[in-house]
Structure 1
Amino acid sequence: MRSARWRGAMDVLRTTGDREALMPELPDVEGFREVLMACGRRRCVTDVEVRDAGVLRGVTVARLRRELKGRCLGKAWRHGKWLFVPTDGGPTVVCHFGMTGSLVCCAEDDPIAPHDRILLTLDHNRHLRYRDQRKLQGVQLADDTEVARITDRLGPDASTVSGPEFRELLSGRRGAVKSALMDQSVIAGLGNLLCDEILWRARVHPRTPARSLSETVLRRVHTRMGRVLETSVRAGCVPPRRSWLTGRREDSEPLCPRCRRSLCSGRVAGRRTVWCPECQT
């Protein structure tokens, strides 16, 4: 069973050739959480196979096996792009998916993919696999103090931040509004595609200084963020709809879905950014 996010992202890649579509953001990680929760009834770990220790962070192969084998995975929760999986009486498994990571649930005898790095055998002969091509982040074990240390570095989750808190967080920020939105210590969970889509829908240029935005504009950005996230979480990714900026950004001659003006492309916050010069002034 593949995640909805992975299927959606591969559709984006086939349609647009956009490698950024595979970079997990909040909707993708929420999809991984759902994959994990549906992978077996009790989700008890009967075996641990680490095929590539390059995805382990601060934990050895031996300790990972010792801590997880025989334990059941509890109710997973997400904050931003981080996934936290408590175990019964043991540490929390913490996953960050970097640019190319994913969780896949499948049958134990399904062929192992080239980038399957960690394989957890669960009850009912299910495999939960951590799959990652580039290995920029990975998997660690954490106690409650270490979990708190991770979350304390993050801003509020983008899917739950209130309007007043959102406006307070952005109103005093130096630099471009896109930079502020992508800063995980300000708001957790937004990535490149989400930020471009949100700002396009809010009619805000990505290079606009965040502190120059009026309360009315910040309220509009927050509203559009909520709507984009709601739809994207249902899809398991930022969907490549033709009515969305996401569905146009990799066209050979991309046009704004709203006004049909040619889209612009440049770099903001170190990332390729797409916007409409007519709609986003």
Structure 2
Amino acid sequence: MPELPDVEGFRQVLLSCGSRRSVTDIDVRDAGILRGVTEERLRTELKGARLGTAWRHGKWLFVPTDGAPTLVFHFGMTGSLRCCAREEPIEAHDRLVLTLDGARNLCYRDQRKLQGVQLADDTAVDRILDGLGPDARAVSREEFLELLSGRRGAVKGALMDQSVIAGLGNLLCDEILWRSHVAPRIPVRNLSEKSLRRIHAAMGRVLTTSVRAGRVPPRRSWLTGRRDDSEPQCPRCGDSLRSGRVAGRRTVWCPRCQT
């Protein structure tokens, strides 16, 4: 389930595989991942275009091109980008394959096809960004306090709201709240400034480590590394972890540590 660290990893894939390379061929193997663009237009716009330096905001990845609109990726729940040698076999879930000069293929893989790929001019890019909050890696403590001030609903729901802060997903939010000793169902308005400061600090630490790993790492010292055990225990206090739905998502927390 790609979150900010995963998408940052995909950005690195693009930088190493496709930056400043031209698209020599386009294979749309499943048009179900195209959003607002036809196969014909995608080929017309992209073939021969040179990919620029990819940039990310939250869970969105933007690739400017020379002489064409920006190529935009959103990875939904199962999407990924892979850089492959041209002779490597195409896999079943490779929905879009861009052949690049230099004998490489850039493959967009996605099993469930909940999001996908689009072309966006500057106005369309601005429209996407207007619907998003600031990127989670760039939010200062003061800005974080301001963004959450006065919000209603559970704190996990607020953190997962992409219009508030862009990039946090289910695993990140559970990990951040566990490290902050904050229960996911607590209303934001019931949290003290001290608690919000702890959440912001934990967010920074978790993102730094996760971006370095290219994912939320399933370390045994992390909540993430225990959540899928048959009888999960808190790596901090050893108490049994609980699981339930918060903000519509499966949520794991420690009832002893997170109060």
Q: Which TM class, normalised by the smaller chain length?
A: over 0.9
Which of 105, 108, 111 lines up with 2:86 in the alignment? Answer: 108
Q: Alignment partner of 1:273: what SS?
A: strand
| Distance (whole Å) between structure 1 residues aligned to residue 79 and residue 212 of structure 2 | 19
Task: Give structure 1 regions of 4+ aligned residues with deviation exceeding 4 angstroms.
Answer: none
In the TM superposition, 1:63-212 aligns within 5 A as 63-212=41-190
Alignment TM-score, normalising by the size of structure 1: 0.91
Structure 1 gap segments, 5+ residues each: 1-22
Structure 2 gap segments, 5+ residues each: none
Deviation readout 1:114-151 (Å, 9 max, x if unpaired): 00000000011100001000000000000001000000
> Root-mean-square deviation (CA), in Å?
0.7
Letter in 1 for 2:188: A
Q: Alignment partner of 1:280: what SS?
A: coil
In the TM superposition, 1:223-242 aligns within 5 A as 223-242=201-220
Aligned pairs, number: 259
CA contact (8 A) 1:30 1:78 kept: yes
2:195 is the alignment partner of 1:217: yes
Deviation readout 1:154-182 (Å, 9 max, x if unpaired): 00000111111101111211000000000
| Distance (whole Å) between structure 2 residues aligned to residue 82 and residue 105 of structure 1 | 18
CA contact (8 A) 1:181 1:187 kept: yes
| Distance (whole Å) between structure 2 residues aligned to residue 41 and residue 176 of structure 1 | 41
Structure 1 residue 40 displacement after superposition? 4.6
| Distance (whole Å) between structure 2 residues aligned to residue 124 and residue 74 of structure 1 | 15
The aligned counterpart of 2:256 is 278
CA contact (8 A) 2:19 2:53 kept: no
Q: Alignment partner of 1:146: what SS?
A: helix
Q: Alignment partner of 1:124: what SS?
A: coil
| Distance (whole Å) between structure 1 residues aligned to residue 43 and residue 67 of structure 2 | 15
The aligned counterpart of 1:15 is none
Q: Alignment partner of 2:119: what SS?
A: strand
Deviation readout 1:195-225 (Å, 9 max, x if unpaired): 0000000000000001111111111100000
CA contact (8 A) 2:93 2:111 kept: yes
